[in-house]
Structure 1
Amino acid sequence: MTIPTWITLSRLLGLPFLLYGLHYPTTSSRWVCLVIFLIAASTDWLDGYLARKLNQVTDLGKFLDPLVDKLLILGPLLALIELGQVPAWGVFLILARELAIAGWRVNQTKISGANIWGKFKTVSQILAIALLIAPLPTNWQLYSVIAFWISVAFTLISGIIYVLPPNPSNNEFSQ
């Protein structure tokens, strides 16, 4: 296994601690969970960068990276449902999009990479989860929920855009 693949798998190591800390949340455990989550989320950029830089892009890495990303996002969201911070139906929309795109990719001969909407989705999900995990004052809770719904919107928009056929009029080669 390559270094980038090991880094991808390392994201999973923090997940049990994150889920345990959110199962019995205290102010200090929430801060610890926030740090774990942000470190794990930052490795998503690192493994991709190293895979390209070291010329170690592998089929295993292409398979594991999005799978581990989804576990890192959905795990805390499920814990936040249990805490009553986010509604299950909002998390279901995220889960449904992720499953639909994964199923759609199986039938594609060529997999396209993340577009700008996919990047907005990822950043908005990380930001929303970070705000929801952090033990912020009560007056910040509304902003955390708004961030969650923005991430749901970006998740759905990016899914729709991902499966839509490209517009030939936007193709630079058709001029």
Structure 2
Amino acid sequence: MSADEVRVSNWNLPNAITIVRILLAPVFFVMLLVDGHDHGALRWAAAVLFILAIATDGIDGHIARSRGLVTDLGKLLDPIADKVLTGAALIGLSILGELPWWVTALILVREVGITVWRFVQLKDRVIPASRGGKLKTLVQSIAISLALLPFPALFGGWVDWVNTVFMALALVLTVVTGIDYLVQAWRLNRPAPGAPSNPPSSTR
């Protein structure tokens, strides 16, 4: 059997789930902003939609690995889908005044920067999410979910402290894993030991 015959098609269930997660981001964003500060049914619906959408990250990954449907497109789209969804949530929370803009800006700069780096590396390789990156996404998802759910209105201000702790942890992991990706980029692009820094020019 040739390599073309065993190559996994990009048009498969895991990639479809990932694309749906990207498409749900603007729907969630609109629902969040339309509710505003009412913390009514739309806010609950937006929070539940975010939780369900971000949960599909584990589902599509499990399906891809268990059924042999892992593709380069999936490796690329999966972290992008997470960034689009979490980015929409962070921007929405900052617009509503529930999250400082500097937190959103710091996280988004890291996420956009790493995504651009992944695209630059496409000519040589596909860079999948690292274990640290996946942990960062998990903690970000928990922190954002707690911020979206209007629990303080039901249980009091102590919930805000829990939200703050998780958001601070997410911020630390975002910065640490961002630095780790930069170190990886430096290691991948540095010349091999003993290799000339500049190839000799032709003398013809």
Give the TM-score band, short-chain normalised.
0.7 to 0.9
What TM-score does the superposition give when structure 1 sets the normalisation length?
A: 0.85
What TM-score does the superposition give when structure 2 sets the normalisation length?
A: 0.74
Residue 107 of structure 1: how far off its partner (Å): 4.1
Does residue 80 in structure 1 map to residue 93 in structure 2?
A: yes
SS of 2:108's partner is helix
Aligned to 1:12: 22
Does residue 149 in structure 1 map to residue 172 in structure 2?
A: no
Q: Relative to structure 1, is the Cα distance of residues 107 and 151 closer, same or farther in structure 2, using a 3 angstrom cutoff?
A: same
Distance in 2, matches of 1:99 and 1:13, equals 18
Which whole-Å deviations, capped at 9, do the CAs of 1:29-59 have from their partners, x for residues lacking one? Answer: 2221221111101111111111122222223
Residue 125 of structure 1: how far off its partner (Å): 0.5
* Stretches of structure 2 lacking an aligned partner (at least 5 in a row): 1-10, 186-204
Indicate the RMSD between aligned Cα atoms, in angstroms: 2.1
Residue 114 of structure 1: how far off its partner (Å): 3.1
SS of 2:136's partner is helix
Does residue 163 in structure 1 map to residue 185 in structure 2?
A: no
* Partner amino acid, structure 2, of 1:81: S
- Aligned pairs for 1:1-175 (under 5 A) are 1-23=11-33, 24-25=35-36, 26-108=39-121, 109-137=124-152, 138-165=157-184
SS of 2:55's partner is helix
SS of 1:113's partner is coil
Q: Percent identity?
A: 36
* Partner amino acid, structure 2, of 1:128: A
Q: Relative to structure 1, is the Cα distance of residues 74 and 64 closer, same or farther in structure 2, using a 3 angstrom cutoff?
A: same
Would the aligned equivalents of 1:30 and 1:134 in 2 still touch at CA under 8 Å?
A: yes
* Partner amino acid, structure 1, of 2:181: Y
Would the aligned equivalents of 2:133 and 2:177 in 1 still touch at CA under 8 Å?
A: yes
Distance in 2, matches of 1:21 and 1:165, equals 38
Would the aligned equivalents of 1:121 and 1:158 in 2 still touch at CA under 8 Å?
A: yes
Aligned to 1:170: none
* Aligned residue pair count: 167
Q: Relative to structure 1, is the Cα distance of residues 44 and 30 closer, same or farther in structure 2, using a 3 angstrom cutoff?
A: same
Would the aligned equivalents of 2:110 and 2:174 in 1 still touch at CA under 8 Å?
A: yes
Higher helix share: 1
